[in-house]
Amino acid sequence: GESVGLHLPTLSVQEGDNSIINCAYSNSASDYFIWYKQESGKGPQFIIDIRSNMDKRQGQRVTVLLNKTVKHLSLQIAATQPGDSAVYFCAGVSGSARQLTFGSGTQLTVLP
C-alpha cells in the first residue's frame, strides 16, 4: 500500500510568522490528499484537502501545495498563531472505500 511520511517531526515558529509543513508520499494511488490538525488530547480535525489533479488550494490562512512530479505536499499557515500549535498530519485518500493513509505527523510549536 501507499506510505505517506513527513520530513520533520517538529517545527517551531515565531508567532506571526508563516509556517510550512512538508509531506512526501511514495506512490500515486491517492486521488485526494488531506491535512489534519490534532491538538493535545483531541482527535484529528480536518483542515483542508486537495484533489490529486490540482497544484494548489487555499483556505482561510492555509494553503496546500501539491507537487506530483516529486510527490511532495506542503501545508502553509499564514501569520501563525498560538492556537495553531498542534500535530499536523497529511493523509492520502485512495480506493472506493476512501481509505486514509496517514503520515507520522509534525509537531508545530508557536513561540511567543
Partner 1 sequence: EAQVTQNPRYLITVTGKKLTVTCSQNMNHEYMSWYRQDPGLGLRQIYYSMNVEVTDKGDVPEGYKVSRKEKRNFPLILESPSPNQTSLYFCASSPTGNHEQYFGPGTRLTVT
Q: Which is nearer to partner 1, 65 or 100 (CB)?
A: 100
Closer residue to partner 1 (CB): 54 or 100: 100
Question: Alpha carbon of 9 to those of 4, 52, 105: distances in Å?
Answer: 13, 24, 6
CB of 17 to partner 1, least distance (A): 26
Nearer to partner 1, 13 or 90 (CB): 90
Ramachandran angles phi, psi of 50, nearest 5°: -145, 135
| Interface with partner 1 (CB under 8 A) | 1, 4, 32, 34, 41-46, 49, 89, 91, 93, 97-105
* Smallest distance from partner 1 to CB 43, Å: 3
Residue 46 identity (one-letter amino acid): F
Q: Which residues have a Cβ under 8 Å from the Cβ of 93 and sit 6 or more positions away?
A: 30, 31, 32, 33, 34, 49, 99, 100
